[in-house]
Structure 1
Amino acid sequence: MTTNRPYLNLIQHSVKNDGVSFEEIVPNYLYRAILGEKSFLMHDVEVGLNNSAAAKTAMSKSGTYETLKYYDIPAIEHAFLMNTSSRFSKNDSFELAKQLFSQWNKKVVVKQDNGSQGNNVYKVTSIEELIKCLKLLFQLGVNASISPYEEATYEYRIVTLASKPKLFLGKQRTTSWKHNLISGAIAIDIPDEQAPQLATLANKAASALELDFCTVDILQTSRGLHVLEINEQVMLDEYCKNNPDRQRKVADVYREAVLRRFKKI
C-alpha cells in the first residue's frame, strides 16, 4: 500500500522495482518498509539512516553551528536563546539577544532553534522588533537562536549520502529576503566549476555531525561559502514539484538511501 502524498509516493515508488513494499500503519505518515525478511519503520520521509544524537544535533541551529565551529568548518554563527519560561533558564535571553544585536550591526535573524521549515523566521532591524519576535517564539513554547543577517543572493543545498554528494540544488532569492522556494525563491542550476568546492564543504559538515543522509544548506556570502544549516530530513518536495527530471533525480537518491537502510539491518 502506498500514500497519496506526492513526495512520499515518489519515495516509495523509487524502490518498487527492487521488491520493496510498504505496509500502512498510519495513513500518509507511518509505514513499515519490507524487503524479503527485512523491514524497518519509515516515519514520514525519514528512513532511519541517521543516529538519534546526530539528528537531534542537526535539529538545533545553534548546536549545529557549535559543532561546525569545533571542527573549524566555516558556518553562519547561531547563538542559543533559551525560552525564558523554561525551568532551566538562568540567564536573561533578552539581554543576550540585545548584546548580539548591537554586536552584529543591528541586523539579525531570529528563529526557532529547532527549525520549522522556514516558518517563524524573522529578519530584525530594531530592538523593538527583536523583543517582539522573541516573545512570539517563547509564547510558542520553543527555544530560539539568533544569527547575524548575511546579504546573500544565492543559497545552495547539497544532498549527501554516506559522505558523498548526490544532488546539487541552487536557490536564488527574488522578492523575499528568504531563500525558501515556497517564499518565492527560484531553483537554479549550479555551475560545474563550483560543485567541487560545495561538495567538499558539504561532506565536511555532514561528517562533523555524523549524519549519513542529510541536506547541507550553504550561503554564498561576501566572505565566501558558509554553512547556514544542516537538515537531518531530506525534504525536496518544492524543488521537484511538477518537474519530471528533478523528480527522477530525487527518486534515484532516495532509492539508494532506502536500499542502504536495508543493508544496515
Structure 2
Amino acid sequence: MASGERIFVQAIRRYCADHGIAVDVRAGGWLITMRRGEARHFAFGYDIGLNSAIAHRLANDKSATAEALTLEGVPCVPHHLSLNPKLGKNVVGPSWRDAMLELLHDHPQGVVVKPNEGTSGRSVFKVTTEAELDHATSDVFSMSTGLVISPYVEIEEEVRVVLLGDVPLIVYSKQRGTDWRHNLDAGAKPVLLEDGEARADRAKLAIDAARAIGIVFASIDLVRVDGKWRVLEINSGVMMEALGKLHPELVQAAYDAALDRVFGEK
C-alpha cells in the first residue's frame, strides 16, 4: 500500500484483497480499475460507479440539485445560478451582474458565493457589499464556468448522512471550529450521531433528497436554520477522509457495503 494514499483508495484495496479482485491504481489514485473474471468496474475520484449518469450530474450541480429538490417539495437552501460571462452574451445574457446585485440587495445579511460544482469549501465567499461580490465572482469565474449565490444563513447545526439506497450507513454532525463554514477541510470535526429520534429524522430527510434526484450512493449535507432542517448539498462522490482517521472500521464497512452492491454481492 503506497504511503500517503487516500483512505478511499485504501478501502478499495482492502475490499479487493478480501474478495479476490484484481485492482489497478492509476493517476495517483484518482482512477482505479477492479477486475474479477470478466467483470470490470471503475472508481474515479470518490465515485465508485453506483449512480446513474444523470443522478451524478444533478448532484454535482448545486443549482440543479436545489431546483430538483424544490420540485419534489424537499426543503433546501436555494442556489441561484450565474454563468461565466466568458461563455458569451448569447449564453449568459446581458444582465448577469444585475441579477447578482439584486440577490445581494434582497439579502442585507449577506449572501454566499461559491462554484456551482466543487467540494471542500474552496473559493467560498461570504459577501455583504458590491466590492466583495465583484471580488468573489472574479475569483470563482477564474476557475469555473458557473457560480451559485445563496442567502447567508446562521447555521445552527450541520449533519452529513452517508446513504446506500434507503439505508443510512453513517450519520454525523460537523462541529465547526473557528471558521464560519462547516467544511471538514476548514477544521470542522465529525461527531457520530447515536441511534435515536434525531438520527432517524435526519436520515429521513436525506432519503427524501436522494429519492428526489434518483441517487443511490451519496453523502447528503443537512443544515438546521431557525430550528428547521433543510438540504444544503448532495455529494455523488462519497469522501470520508476526515471521518476515516477517527473511525476507520466504520468507514471501511460503508465502502464495503457499497462495493458489495457494485459486484452484486448483496
TM-score, normalization by structure 2? 0.92
Distance in 2, matches of 1:141 and 1:72, equals 29
Is 103-112 or 37-46 further displaced after alignment? 37-46
Question: For residues 140 and 45 of structure 1, do their structure 2 counterparts lie closer, same or farther at Cα, with a shift above 3 Å needed?
Answer: closer
Q: What amino acid is the match of 2:224? A: Q
1:220 aligns with 2:224: yes
| Residue in 1 that maps onto 2:241 | 237
| Residue in 2 that maps onto 1:194 | 198
Contact 2:120-2:184 at 8 Å conserved across structures: no
Distance in 2, matches of 1:91 and 1:53, equals 30
Contact 1:137-1:144 at 8 Å conserved across structures: yes
Structure 2 gap segments, 5+ residues each? none
1:59 aligns with 2:63: no
Contact 2:155-2:224 at 8 Å conserved across structures: yes
Distance in 2, matches of 1:26 and 1:187, equals 29
Contact 1:181-1:239 at 8 Å conserved across structures: no
| Residue in 1 that maps onto 2:177 | 174
1:38 aligns with 2:42: no
Q: What CA deviation, in whole Å up to 9, does each residue of 1:75-98 have, x standing for no partner?
A: 000000111111311142211111
Distance in 1, matches of 2:28 and 2:185, equals 25
| Residue in 1 that maps onto 2:30 | 29
Q: What amino acid is the match of 1:207? A: R
Contact 2:109-2:152 at 8 Å conserved across structures: no
1:80-229 matches, within 5 Å, as 80-87=81-88, 88-191=91-194, 192-229=196-233
- CA shift, 1:15, in A, is 4.3
Question: For residues 106 and 93 of structure 1, do their structure 2 counterparts lie closer, same or farther at Cα, with a shift above 3 Å needed?
Answer: farther
Structure 1 gap segments, 5+ residues each? none
Q: What amino acid is the match of 1:137? A: V
Is 11-20 or 75-84 further displaced after alignment? 11-20
- CA shift, 1:50, in A, is 0.7
Contact 2:82-2:96 at 8 Å conserved across structures: yes
Distance in 2, matches of 1:109 and 1:49, equals 31
Q: Please state whether the residue corresponding to 2:86 is helix, strand or coil.
A: coil
Q: Please state whether the residue corresponding to 1:14 is helix, strand or coil.
A: helix
Q: How many residues align?
A: 260
Distance in 2, matches of 1:94 and 1:160, equals 38
Percent identity of equivalent pairs:
28
Contact 2:115-2:144 at 8 Å conserved across structures: no
Q: What CA deviation, in whole Å up to 9, does each residue of 1:82-125 have, x standing for no partner?
A: 11111311142211111111112241100000124210110111
Contact 2:190-2:242 at 8 Å conserved across structures: no
